[in-house]
């Protein structure tokens, strides 16, 4: 009743990880789309609408619209493998108030996905953001 690999990162508190993740994935997946976990509207990462929304604490980033429209039905099948990132982050900073925990769920940490995760880390914080698979 659970799938995916949960990768934990941390980002400096006070930033909006969703906007940074959108910016990164726009370059990795030019036809990518965004879906807030509480909403149903799929928004193109290239759309101006993406800049006007409120920060999302939980959202999905898909490589393309077709994948977004079929993912829930098909799940992590061969056609959809590693074509969706599920991102969740804490609203509260950690005990010392410096960082926020961010989890990125993928299907598999392949070399290509590792590259995306590393670019995400860099976007969150060039020197401080750490990521590791949660065991």
Partner 1 sequence: MFHYTDKDGYNAIVSQPVWLFLAGKPPGNHPFGAYFTDLPPDTPHLATKLRIPRRKVKWFFEFVDVGDLIRLPGNRGEFIFYSPTNYPVEWECQLNYGATGL
Residues of the shown chain interacting with partner 1 in the complex, contacts defined by CB under 8 A: 1-6, 8, 35, 37-40, 58, 60, 71-77, 84, 86, 88-90, 101-103, 105, 107-108, 133-135
Contact between 62 and 83 (Cβ < 8 Å) = yes
Burial state string for 21-49 with b = 16 or more CB within 10 A and e = fewer than 16: bbebbbebbeebbbbbeeeeeebbbeeee
Q: Which structure tokens are listed for 63? A: 């490589």
Measured from the CB of residue 38, what is the shortest distance to partner 1 in angstroms? 6
d(CA 22, CA 99) in angstroms, rounded, equals 20
Contact between 122 and 129 (Cβ < 8 Å) = yes
d(CA 86, CA 89) in angstroms, rounded, equals 10
């Amino acid at each position: 009743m659970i799938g995916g690999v949960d990768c934990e990162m941390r980002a400096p508190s006070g930033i909006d990880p969703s906007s940074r993740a959108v910016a990164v994935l726009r370059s990795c997946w030019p036809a990518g789309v965004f879906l807030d976990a509480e909403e149903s509207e799929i928004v193109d990462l290239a759309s101006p609408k993406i800049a006007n929304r409120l920060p999302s604490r939980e959202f999905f980033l898909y490589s393309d619209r077709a994948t977004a429209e079929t993912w829930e039905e098909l799940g992590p099948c061969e056609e959809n493998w590693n074509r969706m990132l599920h991102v969740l982050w804490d609203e509260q900073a950690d005990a010392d108030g410096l960082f926020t925990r961010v989890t990125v769920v993928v299907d598999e940490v392949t070399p290509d996905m590792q590259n995306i995760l590393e670019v995400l880390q860099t976007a969150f914080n060039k020197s401080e953001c750490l990521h590791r698979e949660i065991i």
